[in-house]
Structure 1
Amino acid sequence: MAEPTTVEPFQFERRTIDHIPVTERHGRARNLFTIWFGSNIMLLTVATGVVATAVYGLPLWAALLSLALGNIAGGVVMALHAAQGPQMGVPQMLQTRAQFGSYGSLLVVVLVVLMYVGFFASNMVLGGQAISTLLGLPETLAITLIGLLSVAGASVGYKLIHGLASLMSVIAGVTLALAFVWALAVNGLPAGTLSSGEFSWLGFMGTLSLAALWQIAYAPYVSDYTRYMPRDTGVRPAFWATYSGAVLGSVLPMVLGALVGAAFPKADTVTGLGSITEGIGALVIAVFGIGIACTNSLNLYCGALSAITVGQTLFPRWVPRAGVRALVASALFLCALAMALAGKDNFLVNFTNFMLLLMCVLVPWTAVNLVDYYAIRHGHYDIDSLFRRDGGVYGRYNPIAIACYFLGIAVQIPFLSTTIYTGPIAERIGAVDISWIVGLAVICPLYYAWMRKAGRTRARTPFPATDTLLAGGETK
């Protein structure tokens, strides 16, 4: 086997969605811990914790329990996707062609691009508010600056993003520890913080769902950050490194956010965080604000890869490189900027609704993808077929996957509970949102049984000689 090459952190990544040959594989499973731990310690994660106590009005103990349970459950779904990258060596949404067909996958990929834009916009709002507070800049200018930093990271690519996340694991991790020390020991919590709020199943399940979706929302791109890793990385090491980094990196900032929401329920996230960490508030906000720019690079990078996947499906002879990724990232940034400026004045409510509705369209996709990979094909796919316009052995459409996807959305609608829409069943159970649980419970066994009955259990040629065929990114 050829020795893996080393890649300099600031070297522009040449590849986009093409297969990564073994000669360019590098990294170890522990690198997956740092990218997910470091990238989650930011203001948007804190804001998610604020929702539990400030929006849903939960007492602190219930907020912490629901946040922990949601991350633990959602993290399993998210981390199971991590092992697909080393095995297949292609981006996550390109893999979706194996389940839905080359054209059938387009709907899912387009929805995922919209998701990336939504997350990018949410992060820009909080990052802009932080920079505006610290430097006294106009909020619109600060939001724009945060977005431009993220465009730079996405343009350079994979290795730089990994490097920045590793650095933020240390800097943001230490800052987070200091924030807890200042909030609990140095300043102390305001009177009534620990006794505030009132338990409700609506708030508990809403918070649990929000935390679970925080993890599930990474599923469409988690293997984008493992596709350069050696194929022998292993399922278990990839799973546990990803799972531990993502869950720890999410739960701890959300706990801090729950404290902020309980202590200062009427303050925005940035103001409340500064108040609870008074004395080092500027440092905490600055580090968590910079963390947003790093994390947004992940969102924008993967959004660009997904958008390029759509283009390559329609024009299979097109071989996009780094310049195309930068242009697509810039276009997505402009879309997110418009969304951020339009929704910044009612941020927490808009963000909560966005996340819960997003769950509805992500859950059936992740159910189909994971069942197909682990239970039906056992990780064996024809990589060449993923780059063919006719879908190769997977065809242009897989009616079973498409039907399961839309059915998965349909069965969740009666169980949805948001400020925009509450389903009839959700109303009968106290407006508690269990839609994502219903979606997983229905679609996982249905897709498995339907595919087995149709005899679609394995690719004809597992792992063909793509390392020579696709070394330059071209396809037949």
Structure 2
Amino acid sequence: MTIERSVYGGRMPAGAGDLAVERHGIQPVPESNRYGKPRRLFTVWFAPNLTMSGVFAGTVGISLGLDFWTAFTAMMLGTLVGALPAAYLCTWGSRTGTGQLPLSRLAFGSGVTLPGVTQWLSSIAWDALIGLFGGEALAELLGWPFWLGALVVLLLQGAVGVFGYEALHQLQIWMTFVLGAAFLVIGVKLLSGVPLPVSGSLHGADRVGAFVLTSTISLSLAISWAPYASDFSRYLPRTTSRPRMFWFALLGMVLSYAWVQTLGLWGAKLFTDRTAAGVHGLLGGGALGAFGLLAIAAAAVCSNAMNDYSGSLALQAAGVRIPRPLAAGTAAGLGFLLVLWMHAADTTARFQNVLLFVGYWIPGFVGVVIIDAWLRARARKGAPIDIAAEFARPQPWWPAVAAFVAAFAAAVPFMNTSLFVGPIATALHGADLAYYVAFVVAVAVYAPLRLWAGRRTAVAPEASGTATA
């Protein structure tokens, strides 16, 4: 117990602006250490999405052959659908004082190792997805080789991830204004000199398939925050308004993603494999171009620091007894190796493949934890959640793991990447419905298994007690 407390517990920030290293890991944050207002959820979910990965994702609809307005509609639909569960899960932080993967131990039990390790690996993949553009921007700005620009970006983000919760919140407050100004300038330049790509080349079923794929790519961006969601609200007081938390988080995600992906749609011909160079050319070089490149690098640091922080909690939740700051730094180091691989060949293909594959597991995870929370709330009959009591009431691990695996397996025929296209996706002219299928299957499999396993667990002690008597 002492070892676990020293690894999973530790120093917590005392309030807003306390930037000392947070050593506290997956243990619930006690009410005496809670602070903050729900409005800080807007900036913590707004600034990290003002990245060139979002811009690059926005170019996909045009590259598939859609016209601007069709691609825009698909993008907005996918963003909203993906952001809804992430914003909802964010409200669990103040109620439980617990991060998202650590909290999922209620549903997964010892089986949490599977989503925990998956989330940790996903955080490394996101480091590469976003660090790719940050490294390019810094290399373009300073005349460095790409590897050195990427290394500096990942070192900076690793440092912020090590400092932890409050450092992340303070950084995102400042970066909301800095990055907002940078992307506003990019938007003005697009409006003044780049024609809107109003025409597309697709028709009929091919157009529908491209619409669904574009929507799914946008959905994958937004829902990727779901396994992180309560990590950045776990220090908020229990009395914090849940509706306000939900709306601040939802608006932060939707507005930021809509903004940057719209820029990507508009300037799709500029923002190709050479995204950083495209921004520099759009801004005309000079001081303004340098500011744009610096903003891209800073955006990568902001977003990836979130990945490293949540990855450190996921690794602890999976049972790895490593201090949270060290786990955060390790994720950044491994992300550097992956970003070098992504930069070495066809960036467009590798970006889309990594983006989709790191998210296919998330809808199954979301379905499991939401059903578990709903059943637990029904058992409490309206009483406030007592997180210690809930952890003392574990569920069998196998229903959650079975549903998680079944959801991913069911999604495979619906997947569409350049590495693998499922037979159903092919029949649907490229439409990728894997995320939707995974969520539905997870709920359909987990709910009855969970209820059945729960009844068996309740009957077993009674039978045992009768025999003993």
TM-score, length-scaled by structure 2: 0.87
1:27 alignment partner, one of 22, 31, 36:
36
In the aligned structure 1, how far is the partner of 2:211 from the partner of 2:351?
Answer: 17
Aligned amino acid, residue 317 of structure 2: T
Q: Secondary structure at the match of 1:220?
A: helix
Work out whether residues 38 and 166 of structure 1, in 8 Å CA contact, stay in contact via their aligned partners in 2.
yes
2:387 alignment partner, one of 383, 402, 414:
383
Match of 2:278 in 1: 272
1:42 CA displacement: 1.5
Work out whether residues 80 and 219 of structure 2, in 8 Å CA contact, stay in contact via their aligned partners in 1.
yes
Work out whether residues 100 and 399 of structure 1, in 8 Å CA contact, stay in contact via their aligned partners in 2.
yes
In the aligned structure 1, how far is the partner of 2:450 from the partner of 2:128?
Answer: 38
Match of 1:224 in 2: 231
In the aligned structure 1, how far is the partner of 2:427 from the partner of 2:332?
Answer: 41
Work out whether residues 66 and 199 of structure 2, in 8 Å CA contact, stay in contact via their aligned partners in 1.
no
**Alignment deviations for residues 286-323 of structure 1 (CA, whole Å, 9 cap, x no partner):** 212211111111101111121122235xx6xxxx6xxx
In the aligned structure 2, how far is the partner of 1:260 from the partner of 1:458?
Answer: 58
1:338 equivalent to 2:346? Answer no
**Alignment deviations for residues 172-201 of structure 1 (CA, whole Å, 9 cap, x no partner):** 11222222112102xx215x7333554523
Work out whether residues 376 and 458 of structure 1, in 8 Å CA contact, stay in contact via their aligned partners in 2.
no
Match of 2:429 in 1: 430
**Alignment deviations for residues 20-72 of structure 1 (CA, whole Å, 9 cap, x no partner):** 11111011111000111111111211111122223x23221122111111001
Q: Secondary structure at the match of 2:365?
A: helix
**Alignment deviations for residues 451-476 of structure 1 (CA, whole Å, 9 cap, x no partner):** 345446999xxxxxxxxxxxxxxxxx
Work out whether residues 104 and 112 of structure 2, in 8 Å CA contact, stay in contact via their aligned partners in 1.
yes
Q: In structure 2, do the counterparts of structure 1 residues 276 and 331 end up closer, same or farther at CA, with 3 Å as the change threshold?
A: same
1:286 equivalent to 2:289? Answer no
Aligned amino acid, residue 276 of structure 2: V
In the aligned structure 2, how far is the partner of 1:94 from the partner of 1:336?
Answer: 22
The unaligned stretches of length 5 or more in structure 1 are 460-476
In the aligned structure 2, how far is the partner of 1:356 from the partner of 1:156?
Answer: 30
In the aligned structure 1, how far is the partner of 2:141 from the partner of 2:332?
Answer: 23
Q: In structure 2, do the counterparts of structure 1 residues 258 and 375 end up closer, same or farther at CA, with 3 Å as the change threshold?
A: farther
In the aligned structure 2, how far is the partner of 1:299 from the partner of 1:273?
Answer: 25
Q: Which moved more, 1:79-88 or 1:417-426?
A: 417-426
Q: Secondary structure at the match of 2:360?
A: helix
Cα RMSD for the two superposed structures? 2.4
In the aligned structure 2, how far is the partner of 1:197 from the partner of 1:50?
Answer: 15
**Alignment deviations for residues 96-134 of structure 1 (CA, whole Å, 9 cap, x no partner):** 110011x21111100000100000011221101001111
Aligned amino acid, residue 283 of structure 1: F
Map residues 179-218 of structure 1 onto 2, 5 A cutoff. 179-185=186-192, 188-190=193-195, 193-195=197-199, 197-198=201-202, 200-218=207-225
- The sequence identity of aligned pairs, in percent, is 27
Map residues 143-162 of structure 1 onto 2, 5 A cutoff. 143-162=150-169
Aligned amino acid, residue 51 of structure 1: V
Match of 1:95 in 2: 103
Match of 1:465 in 2: none
In the aligned structure 2, how far is the partner of 1:238 from the partner of 1:126?
Answer: 31
2:26 alignment partner, one of 17, 20, 23:
17
Aligned amino acid, residue 95 of structure 1: L
Match of 1:468 in 2: none
Aligned amino acid, residue 74 of structure 1: G
In the aligned structure 1, how far is the partner of 2:293 from the partner of 2:77?
Answer: 27
Match of 1:46 in 2: 55
Work out whether residues 164 and 325 of structure 2, in 8 Å CA contact, stay in contact via their aligned partners in 1.
no
In the aligned structure 2, how far is the partner of 1:267 from the partner of 1:78?
Answer: 29
Q: In structure 2, do the counterparts of structure 1 residues 47 and 307 end up closer, same or farther at CA, with 3 Å as the change threshold?
A: same
1:266 CA displacement: 5.2
Q: Which moved more, 1:271-280 or 1:285-294?
A: 271-280
Match of 1:464 in 2: none
Work out whether residues 22 and 325 of structure 2, in 8 Å CA contact, stay in contact via their aligned partners in 1.
no
1:57 alignment partner, one of 65, 78, 93:
65
1:424 CA displacement: 1.6
1:347 equivalent to 2:321? Answer no
Aligned amino acid, residue 8 of structure 1: G
1:151 CA displacement: 1.0
In the aligned structure 2, how far is the partner of 1:297 from the partner of 1:394?
Answer: 32
1:8 equivalent to 2:7? Answer no
The unaligned stretches of length 5 or more in structure 2 are 1-12, 459-469
Aligned amino acid, residue 400 of structure 1: P
1:240 alignment partner, one of 244, 247, 262:
247
In the aligned structure 2, how far is the partner of 1:100 from the partner of 1:338?
Answer: 31
1:208 CA displacement: 0.6
In the aligned structure 1, how far is the partner of 2:456 from the partner of 2:352?
Answer: 38
1:326 CA displacement: 2.7
**Alignment deviations for residues 195-230 of structure 1 (CA, whole Å, 9 cap, x no partner):** 355452332211111111111110111100000000
In the aligned structure 2, how far is the partner of 1:249 from the partner of 1:160?
Answer: 21
1:431 CA displacement: 2.2
Work out whether residues 213 and 359 of structure 1, in 8 Å CA contact, stay in contact via their aligned partners in 2.
yes
TM-score, length-scaled by structure 1: 0.86
Work out whether residues 376 and 457 of structure 1, in 8 Å CA contact, stay in contact via their aligned partners in 2.
no
Q: In structure 2, do the counterparts of structure 1 residues 167 and 265 end up closer, same or farther at CA, with 3 Å as the change threshold?
A: closer
Map residues 55-134 of structure 1 onto 2, 5 A cutoff. 56-101=64-109, 103-134=110-141
In the aligned structure 2, how far is the partner of 1:234 from the partner of 1:406?
Answer: 35
